[in-house]
Amino acid sequence: MDISILQRIAIYLLVFAAVFLLIFLSVVMVQGISMEHYDHKVKDKTAGGHRNDIGYFVASRVLLQIQISIGTLLMALIVAILLFCKVFMIYVLVPVSLLALGLGFVLPILYYSRKVKKRAQDFEGSILDLSMGLTSGLRAGQALPQALEVFARRSEGTLKEELDIVLREYRLGVELPDALQRMYDRLPCEDLQLLIVSIRLTLQSGGSLADVLQRITQTIRGRIEFQQKLKALTAQGRFEALAMSLAPLLAFVLLFVINNDLMLPMVQTLIGWCAIGVMLTLETIGYFVIRAIVDVKV
């Protein structure tokens, strides 16, 4: 057997052994992160709330560990795939490896940013229920703190967590509008700000708070209906941005599987890698341009 073939086999075995070792270490680290993440959330809740950012879900030190692990794992996988495709050019392996490492650092941030956005959306979608619940409680003869406490017992999710903090602060002597404003500072929401301003002004100037909250409820309901219609109208544009960006990648993979000899020069020559770089750049620009067009601010 040729010595070069033995060397390639040895490289493949070493790379795949490193990949499996990294996977094992990642699994062990994730188990430790889950426990630390649980302790982190408990400390935040007992400390009186936490601003809705990445720090709510994961500590900065743990996030850095995740980024390093995923970046290293992704870099090892990419190098293994390139070596398997007989790509031994250093000026290709080094930039692609660094790109994979950078992508591994970005992916955890995107994941937790999506969780932060989802939590904010869940909270914002519950403000209408909060307004309706307070209106019903006030019309039933309850005071505002009592209506808020009754609604908090029946609610769930992010809104329940935040209302529990508001009620805890109120029992410790903080004025209810101020406690609600602190909740807005943790989770900014235009509907919530409108609700807080209405409550504050009504408590200062007098009047029927139930009637004011009923009108605020109608306003919030109209805003939600408009936003849902706008989201439905722009859904096709968001899908087209994703589909058009992934189409060249899927076509490349299919052609590589169907006709390996035809597509190998694409990854074994400098011209082919330049073409791949230009394609990725143009597809990324196109994706963000389409998303900017369909992202309507109101």
pLDDT: is 158 or 89 the higher one? 158
Q: What is the pLDDT of residue 38?
A: 45
Q: Is the pLDDT of residue 71 over 80?
A: yes
Per CATH, which fold does 126-223 belong to? Receptor-associated Protein (1.20.81)
Of all residues in the chain, the percent with pLDDT exceeding 70 is 83
CA trace torsion 77, 82, 86, 91 (10° rounding): -130
**pLDDT tens digits along 240-297:** 888 888 888 888 888 877 887 788 788 888 888 888 888 888 888 888 888 888 877 7
Q: Is the pLDDT of residue 115 over 50?
A: yes
Residue ranges per domain, the chain?
1-118, 126-223, 234-298
Average pLDDT over residues 64-74: 82
Angstrom CA distances, 171 to 175, 202, 209, 255, stand at 9, 21, 21, 66
Average pLDDT over residues 190-197: 90
Q: What is the pLDDT of residue 45?
A: 47
Question: What pTM was computed for the model?
Answer: 0.74
